[in-house]
Structure 1
Amino acid sequence: MKRFAIAGIQMSVSAFEENITRMGHYVAHVKHRFPWVDMVLFSELAPYGPSPLKAEAMPGDAEQRLCQIAAQHGIWLIPGSLFELRDGQVFNTSPVINPHGEVIARFSKLFPFLPYEKGISAGDQFVVFDVPDAGRIGISICYDMWFPETTRTLAAMGAEVILHPTMTDTIDREVELAIARASAVTNQVYFLDINGVGDGGVGRSIVVDPAGYVLHQAGNGPEIIPVEIDFDKVRRERERGLRGLGQPLKSFRDRRCDFAVYQRDSGVDSYLYQLGPLAKPQDHHQGELSGPGGPMAEIKADSEALTASQGQS
């Protein structure tokens, strides 16, 4: 049986101080208490919180510290994500760090949470990676899962597990729990949707197996969620059907229909262009923020507003 253990960390995240030191304590605790864990997964933007003003180039100091944590404990580490400064733009990027402390991949969020996550650039590359003697793993971040094409693409690339760090602090968390479960079962993957608490979200992380069974749903406080991944279960159910029933990946592979909606010049999506601009309702400052200052001006304005609101709470 090919098994591999992942611990999701639903950690309290601060927007006002670095969280990497606390992340290191969590990793040390996990390895001491659950020595059979092979990988640790944190929530979106866990290292520094949700301020894009803390963006830095990669490799950088933050990533180096995270690599040292992974190497010290001999563990795979997915530190949620960090804001990455690249070519004058800011991306929401998740490094994949192996047990030797080496960054083997970086995934940048494909769908920033627009119009609320203004000034953050979208990535355009899917990332899967292989864990030797275990299986293939894919990554998506937060709003990415609202677009089923992202998870389907990762599954089509061979991903058997989807790591999904998120930072949801809004009233739609209940909807996301349904999306996580649906993403797992329609793509026959383990789906680990790990949220933060405090400034990092409302918690309620969820882990779902490839047959759609919920292995764990967290509460609203800090939690450590160690789960064992059975890659043979994924492969068996993809061959025989989930719960002995549907085989959605094979049916998708053998489809007779083409999806013209994905051909940008097909015209079948003309309705979508009647929906108006992607902007906040009654956002009177949209035009001002999109002016000469560019993305960094938008980021600065949003970060100042975030700091002011959190200072009042």
Structure 2
Amino acid sequence: MEFQSQIKAIADKISNLKDKIETEESTKHAFVLPFINALGYDAFNPTEVVPEFTADLGLKKGEKVDYAIFQNNTPILIVECKNWKETLDNHNSQLFRYFHTTKTRFALLTNGIQYRFYTDLEQPNKMDEKPFLEFDITKIKDNEIHEISKFHKSNFDVDKIVNNASALKYTKEIKKCIAEELMVPTHDFVKLFANRVYSGRLTEKVMEEFTEIVQKAFNQTVSEKVNDRLNAALNKEAEKQQLDTIEVKEEECKIVTTDEELDGYRIVVAILRRKLPVNRIVYRDTQSYFGILLDNNNRKPLCRLHLNAGTKYIGLIDKDKNETREVIQSVDDIYQFEEVLLNTVDFYID
């Protein structure tokens, strides 16, 4: 939960500050370095975070990547930063070159808001063209924070991240394909379903008709699935409320208000009516005691009667709403506590 709070705090900071950030350097210091710190790495410790890390390419010297994060003297993540106003689409080729010259399995391209994590799933030591993890930190989701946490210093495990990266990458790509097909179904997509339900020849006119049918069918299916989930959640809540109601009713059925309790209530009313209208003095019976309240408010107890056990008590309430029990032989003994009961009213009236 602490890591999640840190990431969301960075998101809030970005939303408040981004319009005041003008340069790439400012983006690094205000947005990217706090993110690196949240991952558990000390941005001011050169053995953990190396700025301007040299990534020479053959005869081409002086190539530098903005940051390299080290663990056990080995780079585990290289980070290339851009100004928050820049799109990242035109910059992965630069990171691609750096990736090839280092021993790391992971690379991050970011403008402080958009984050793209890469690895080498397709060819060893050659960065994939598409990221396996991508998110906007200002719109961060809990499942994305869970994936980011795997890069935390305390959790970092190369094999686990790489094994999971493949599923993340291709799941994202398939979801993207599905979304595109739902918007504008391709010929192959329509043909796949038309062949299953239509026995005639798939002419151009038939394909046009099925394009609309397939699109409508898929949208309806998605809507129905959403409605099913919503109805299931609503039904579950309704069942819970019904069970709660049944439990309350069962509890109420166990409560029997005795004549003795009602006599005690009348005595208390007779005492307190000197300071209160009768309609403001209300009783509420429970399994454990017979409560007398001001304005039928549980937070304003006037006294409690305990009359159903072997020993009878009256529960007197002090200014801190603590109860002190006094033994009584019968409800007539309540008159002995007239002054205390009248003083209790003052706690609420004042």
What is the TM-score when the length of structure 2 is the normalising length? Answer: 0.26
- Which one has the largest radius of gyration? 2
Q: Which has the higher helix share?
A: 2
Q: Which has the higher strand share?
A: 1
For CA contacts below 8 A with separation 6 or more, give which structure has more relative contact order. Answer: 1
What is the TM-score when the length of structure 1 is the normalising length? Answer: 0.28
